[in-house]
Structure 1
Amino acid sequence: MRSLGLVKLIVTTDSASGWFSEDDPSFMIARQQDAPESLGMVPGPDDGTVRRAARGPEVLTSSGPAFMAQLAAPDARFFSMAVDSGPVRTFLLDSVTDSFAVLAPTDSGWQVRQGGPRSLWDAVESAVATWEEYGSPNTAAFGVTVSRDQQAVWLGNPNGPRWPLPS
């Protein structure tokens, strides 16, 4: 997902911490990037539980919301495709937990079907709502703390809302 950010870390003996740059960085891939061993399993048509989605798949591609979606589901990848000659659906798959979310258009918005140990779309919607609650700030309002045991992105200050990252 769209999860670019450049952080300047100040390193101490036990941890490193710093703020994201306000600029939206761009990077040139210097070598072939290995794809994950598995992108996850595409769920069957009846797998998971269904509810009305508060947000549609555009949050996965819009700059600020996509940054939040990546924080909420750091191991997830998404793609869109038509299923059985029907409308295009967006699949969010987490290969680490085998969790999934499938977004489908309805007459009145979006429906999400999700399953697995994590409710991925619930996590994405919650992260985007927190971002909006704090005034939809740019990435300069976020920081990172890294220690031997964990790493997390936080909003505002290290005691503010936080999202753990895979280490």
Structure 2
Amino acid sequence: MAPPSTDGIPSKTIGTQSNEINYQDRHAVRVIVQREANDNIIIIHVKKGNYYKLPGGGVEGDEDYQLAAEREVLEETGCKASIDTKCIGVVEEWRNDLHQTSYCYIGNVTDDSGRPELTEDEVLDGLEHEWAPVQDALQKLKGIKPTSELGIYIQERDTFLLETFLAL
């Protein structure tokens, strides 16, 4: 499936493209998952690398982007979420040999089993999701000191996306 239209949507580029590198293209989704009843959103703490991130991950094949967002939220948090159709922000990353474009959506929890379906790598990385008020989540994202290059990229990406959400 084609990526969503990004006309007029806030965007950010992290890293610099080099003509000397053959990049692997990857499309991904990020989701700001909220509860209708309050101001809390989900953030995920990744112990290995010491950083926080928004739920999300890669779009598989010709998968619909909203369906990819629903799947990633369920896998990483155990929550079923209704995903808004409008993309609210885009981040393009040039990292090592990866060219990744992340599309951010807003999701509202419809059911919370609290039982994530993490991959073996995610378990080894120590992923744990938590609920936090939006401003607290932003402070956690910005205030932690990642110990990996990946964590530094994710911190910059997800801080931008959460600040974009707060500006809506």
TM-score normalized by the length of structure 1: 0.29
Higher relative contact order (CA 8 A, sep 6+): 2
TM-score normalized by the length of structure 2: 0.29
Greater helix percent: which structure? 2
Greater C-alpha Rg: 1
